[in-house]
Structure formats: structure tokens, C-alpha cells
Amino acid sequence: MLAAFWQPSATLALFMMARGAIAFTFADGTHADCIAGGRPVIEIEAASGDPIYQLGRTAIAVPTASGYKVTWNVAKLSSLPPEVHDFIFFHECAHARVPTPDELTANCIALKEMRAAGRAGFAVEAKLAAFYGPLNSYWESTLRCASADAAAAQDRGSRSAPAH
């Protein structure tokens, strides 16, 4: 499942698909590419004057003729706590993979995939919650959504388990 979502890259040069194209670098220094529809998503650093700066965004995923492109505001991304920095990759990739323009859906898928990749768990999710703020309804909705499938599967498993 993980390989269908992202694939680590041995070298950045392998994924230079467009001028300025980059593989995402996680806070721990490892690299990954978002894979959507069986193809790497193009990732670029925002050029000076790019609308991303006026919008105050960290990243924007947009459809292209051949798939998706993520534009990164590298300065803003670099200023984020490590857990948030990494979560943003999964979030933007979810926009391309699902695909969805909905922010909550992208958050939900991102957290599920981050967990599946072994990059989330209680400690990381506590730091993400702290970043969003106490009792933030947006983050609480993300957690509820991301945990719903796991809870349903666990519930199904407990109902079908043989009695001992």
C-alpha cells in the first residue's frame, strides 16, 4: 500500500521532470515523491512573485494536463515544526491521489497515509494537535475521519472473532 502512495528516491536527479522540480525532503532528511495515478507528481519550488506568497500558503496542489503539480513555498515549509512539515507532504499528495479539492478530505487521507508509512502515531499526532491549537474543530474532524475506518475494521473484527 505504501509503495502506491509514495516512493523514496535515491537521488533527486532521477525526478527532475521540470525546471525546479524537487523530491520532497522529510524533516529527517529522507526524500519521497508523491505518486498519483501511477505517475510521480511534479513538485516545484515557488518562484519569486508566485501567487502562493500572496495567498500565504505553504503549498498548492493543482491539476495539470498530465496529472498534478505541487508548488512549495519552501521558506514557509522550512519554518514549520518537523511533524507539520512532514504532514504537509501527505496532505498535498492526498489532493493529487484522491483527487480532491476538499481540505478536510485531504487531511483525513494524509493522516491515514502518514500512519501507514510509520510517520505518525501518538507522539507525532499530539504535536500536530498542538500546532492546530487546543480543541481545534478542524483537527478534531481530521482525527475522527482518519480513525473511523480503523475503528470500523476493529469493530468488524471483534464481532466476527470466534468465541473461546
Which tens digits make up the pLDDT trace of 50-67?
999 999 999 999 999 989
- Domains of the chain, by residue range, sit at 2-159
Nearest partner of 111 among 82, 86, 74, judged by Cα: 86
pTM over 0.75: yes
What's the CA gap between 88 and 156, in Å, rounded?
32
Average pLDDT estimate for 84-106: 97
Which tens digits make up the pLDDT trace of 121-162?
999 999 999 999 989 999 999 999 999 976 666 665 555 555
Which tens digits make up the pLDDT trace of 27-42?
999 999 999 999 999 9
